[in-house]
Amino acid sequence: MTIKKIEFQVTQNISINGSWGFNHKFNILENIDGAGIPAGSGEVTKTMQLNLGNITYPVQADKKKKGDKKTMVPRSVEEMFEMAHMAPACHSKYIKNDYVLNVNIQYAVCKCCCTQPPNINVPMTIIPLTNPATYGFQQPEDFNS
């Protein structure tokens, strides 16, 4: 069978349990290879990459002061850094935040005769990042050598 497209993606599944409930899935980063693989090619190795460092979010520099909805106060450098990057995986009583690495394959055949195309779903753990600059850390001179 000829492979038409290979999709490599990271999805984020967020659910908040409460009286109103919230459950949503976000595709946050993907790499699609449309070159495909012809039928009868034998063993093929493909390398696909996803740079999780490319996932950033816009963050407002100010926030509302606790207890006073009208007064705005500036966010700290560490708070700005953490909010601009991926949220860590979390599993609590009310909030769940999971990340999954998906590999989806699309064949060049009709959809009427095939069952669900094969895919791979691998759970990922995202740990919180900290901004080394806020702690005074400095890279050694030969760090990137």
Per-residue model confidence as pLDDT tens for the chain (145 residues): 777 888 888 888 888 887 666 777 777 777 777 777 888 888 878 777 777 777 888 888 998 888 787 888 898 888 888 888 888 888 888 888 888 888 888 777 755 555 667 788 889 888 777 777 777 777 778 877 5
pTM of the predicted model, to two decimals?
0.66
Quote the pLDDT of residue 110: 56
Closest-CA residue to 131 (of 92, 93, 91, 83)? 83
3-state secondary structure of 52: helix
Q: Is 10 exposed, middle or buried (0-12, 13-18, 19+ CB in 10 A)?
A: buried
Q: Are 106 and 7 in contact (CB under 8 A)?
A: yes
Q: Are 124 and 28 in contact (CB under 8 A)?
A: no
